[in-house]
Chains A and B, each alone.
Chain A
Amino acid sequence: MSFTARKRREAPSAVVRGRFTPYLYLLPAFLVYAAFLLYPLMRAAQFSLYDWPGFGPSTFVGLGNYVDLLSDRRFLAAISHALILIIFYSILPLVVGLVLAAILRRGKVRGLAFFRVVIFMPQVIALVVVAVAWYQIYAPNGFLNRALSAIGLDELTRGWLGDPNFALPAVGMVGFWLQTGLVMLLLLAGMGRIPNDLYEAARLDGAGPVSEFFAITLPSVKAEITTALVLTIIAALKTFDLVYVTTGGGPGTATTVPSYEVYNRAFNLKEVGSASAVAVVLTVLVFLINVVVSRIGEEKR
């Protein structure tokens, strides 16, 4: 997202030329940012070095909390679940979103605005509401099981959120439902910018819808794909509300995720040090994955 066109500028005044002047403009925003984001972040990093229940005296343990995490069954499970959720939150919505957007773009669907609104709707609803609704759908006598029974698939019915093999995919499907609309909308916007001449030229060369998609559409929306991936991967890794409301990390540890672990350790177990360590690891993980995604997205451009 860089602006390549550059005008020749007139010579700026001495004040503006001052080396630190730009930073002065940044300062007010930076102070707010520092007070509400950097300071808590550094405090969390500091807490992670202590054994502390959240009140009373604390004990300095250095990197002890981090070392403990390496052999912590719950934490390792949480990380692996977060990585699996990326498939549901990012990869699947990207694939489905691309196909949907390409069809909508090509097909000149009537009432496109309506569909956009409907598909984007999940993004607007509070996540807790989404979670409660899906909780009901997945209940043993909920909508999903009743629907399965109605079409004669009784063998498939189960308590979805209580089944160790299906609970995580069940939570993931909610994420898929949530994110697909956002991804599709981003991609539609990106496709809207592609000049029609390109497609006309391709068609003159005898390209069908499929080769058109791979030759023109896909390369043109790379920036949007990167953006969509970054946004959805962050959403996947910081999933909390869904898990908190639907499963509480259960059954056993089948659906626990890092954000839930942060909450659980800090407020239920009163291990604020350990909770902070998980939070720091999660932050670093989010940062690293997104740096990689951004880099890959830029390289191909």
Chain B
Amino acid sequence: MSLRPFSRRSFVLGAAGVTGLGVLSACAPGEEAPTDAPAGSPSAVESKDPSQLGDITLVVWDQEVRGSQNDALEALNKAFQDKYPNIKIERKSQSFDDLKAQVSLALSGNDVPDVVQVNNARADMGQFVKAGQLTDLSPYATTYGWEDRFPTSVLSKVRYSADATTFGEGNLYGLPQTGEIVGIFYSQKKLDSLGLKVPTTWDEYFEQLDAALAKGEQPMVLGNVDKWPALHVFGPLQAKYVTPEEIVKLGMGNAGASWTDDANKQAMTQFADWGAKKYFGSSPNGTDYDAAWNDFTKGTGVFLPGGSWLGTDMEAVMGEDLHFIAPPPAVDGKLATTGGTGIPFSIPAKAKNVDAAAAYIDFITTSDAMKLIAENGGFPVLDTAALAPEKGVQKEIFEAFDKVSQEGTLLPYLDYATPSFSDTAGQGLQEVLGGQRSPEDVLGDFEADYKEFTGQ
């Protein structure tokens, strides 16, 4: 096991050293600083008819792999190609995690896709904007009227300042197709058997939870072994104590707010309390996310705080027994909950067919497209109420989304905040839930991460 003969060892080390010197004298990792981002973007571009652009192969990378999403995008791609026979779409589809891991490598290369789905978070879109790797779509927004088509609160999730310091305002770097909302699922039969009512205020919700516990039921279901699911419980709860304006600042990593004020402390203490009193059962941190909602469909727990994306699968088991509500109104009396858009479609700065790509993004986000998405069982980001199915949990989800996005605030996912916040928050919420660290300590970590990023 040892390199006994001394001469061989010195030879290897020597050679390694030579190789090393050669490498170290080579250039630094990465590229030079971005050479002036897409030269002084014009305020509007002339609307070019895609059919006049000549023969084009449009390379699209997406992560719409789940049943209904895949069907919708396939239908849209076909419709686009039928309308513009000169444009051929070359689609490459893979899971969210895989795409996310590849995008950062792909964008820095020279052979980039024309359209790619990029996660809105600062860790992804924010970093790419900062590196000058995404096309500012503002001129196209003017041309195609995207600002009239989309509510401001939805577009704000894809806006960054050109230097990426501000998130929520500034240039436009992508356009979403679908919506998402985090709310509370429940089983009507279960509520009836326990003599509980559907809560309309946070205080009522707390009472129902206590009543459920008193009757020997597990009040809520959470599978948090992956760390991020707790964000979908804490996010909505936070709005009971903290004003939506402050949550938006915190969640988008913009300066001017604090994690350590009293309101946030109350929210985190309440969350810790739920953990300590076993409101999520004996071991939420040891339970798998999918196992948790599966257990819920089989009768474990009374309420399931979770995202709209769970609706279809749970409905398949529970049928009409399953219901969904947006969380009760926030501290200011208006609705507010974690939610937002599906992964937006963006155009890399080095894309070869920018005009065709913009036309494509326009095409897949029109009212007709939204209809097609809904018909295929998806959850369109626009016209949600009108396109809602006639009954079932999907109808309730569509309506809740519409109500919150029109009248209230769709709060950003907390992991949008800073490049490392998904890590910080996931870890901290696990520790609070398991009672390993105090709410104050964890909020201190959140604050440190946020302050370091915003540079306050």
Which A residues have a C-beta under 8 Å from some C-beta of B? 1-2, 23, 30, 34, 38-39, 42-43, 45-47, 50, 52-58, 60, 135, 138-141, 157-164, 167, 226-227, 230, 247-254, 264, 267-272, 290, 294, 297-298
The answer to whether B287 touches A139 (Cβ under 8 A) is yes
Residue of chain B at shortest CB distance from A58: B30
The answer to whether A269 touches B423 (Cβ under 8 A) is yes
| Apart from A159-B285, A269-B420, 15 more pairs, CB < 8 Å | A23-B11, A34-B19, A39-B23, A42-B23, A52-B29, A54-B30, A55-B31, A55-B107, A56-B33, A57-B34, A140-B281, A163-B285, A164-B434, A230-B1, A250-B285
Chain B residues positioned under 8 Å from A141 (CB to CB): 295
The answer to whether A227 touches B225 (Cβ under 8 A) is no
Residue of chain B at shortest CB distance from A162: B286
Jot down 16 A-B pairs with beta carbons below 8 A, ordered by A: A30-B15, A38-B20, A42-B20, A46-B24, A52-B29, A56-B30, A57-B32, A158-B286, A159-B282, A159-B285, A162-B287, A163-B286, A230-B1, A252-B431, A252-B436, A294-B1
Chain B residues positioned under 8 Å from A249 (CB to CB): 427
B310 beta carbon closer than 8 Å to chain A: no
Chain B residues positioned under 8 Å from A252 (CB to CB): 427-428, 430-431, 434, 436-437
Interface flags, B366-383, vs A, CB<8A=1, else 0? 000000000000000000
Chain B residues positioned under 8 Å from A267 (CB to CB): 101
Question: A84 to nearest B CB, angstroms?
Answer: 17
Chain B residues positioned under 8 Å from A34 (CB to CB): 15-16, 19
Chain A residues positioned under 8 Å from B33 (CB to CB): 56-57
The answer to whether B287 touches A140 (Cβ under 8 A) is yes
Interface residue from B104, B123, B227 paired with A248 (Cβ < 8 Å): B227
B224 beta carbon closer than 8 Å to chain A: yes
The answer to whether A138 touches B427 (Cβ under 8 A) is no
- The answer for the CA separation of A3 and B430 in the assembled complex, in Å, is 56
- Of B125-133, B234-242, B255-263, which binds chain A? B125-133
> Taking A42-B19, A164-B434 as contacts, is the C-beta distance between A159 and B30 under 8 angstroms?
no
The answer to whether B131 touches A270 (Cβ under 8 A) is no
> Taking A135-B288, A139-B287, A252-B434 as contacts, is the C-beta distance between A46 and B104 under 8 angstroms?
no
The answer to whether A164 touches B123 (Cβ under 8 A) is no
Question: B4 to nearest A CB, angstroms?
Answer: 7
Q: Residues of B within 8 Å of A, CB-based: how many?
A: 57
- The answer for the CA separation of A84 and B420 in the assembled complex, in Å, is 27
B105 beta carbon closer than 8 Å to chain A: yes
B108 beta carbon closer than 8 Å to chain A: yes
The answer to whether A159 touches B123 (Cβ under 8 A) is no
Residue of chain B at shortest CB distance from A268: B423
Chain A residues positioned under 8 Å from B20 (CB to CB): 38, 42, 45
The answer to whether B226 touches A248 (Cβ under 8 A) is yes
B438 beta carbon closer than 8 Å to chain A: no
Residue of chain A at shortest CB distance from B103: A55
Question: A275 to nearest B CB, angstroms?
Answer: 12
The answer to whether A158 touches B282 (Cβ under 8 A) is yes
Chain B residues positioned under 8 Å from A52 (CB to CB): 29-30
Chain B residues positioned under 8 Å from A139 (CB to CB): 286-288, 291
> Taking A163-B286, A250-B285 as contacts, is the C-beta distance between A272 and B29 under 8 angstroms?
yes
- The answer for the CA separation of A244 and B222 in the assembled complex, in Å, is 20
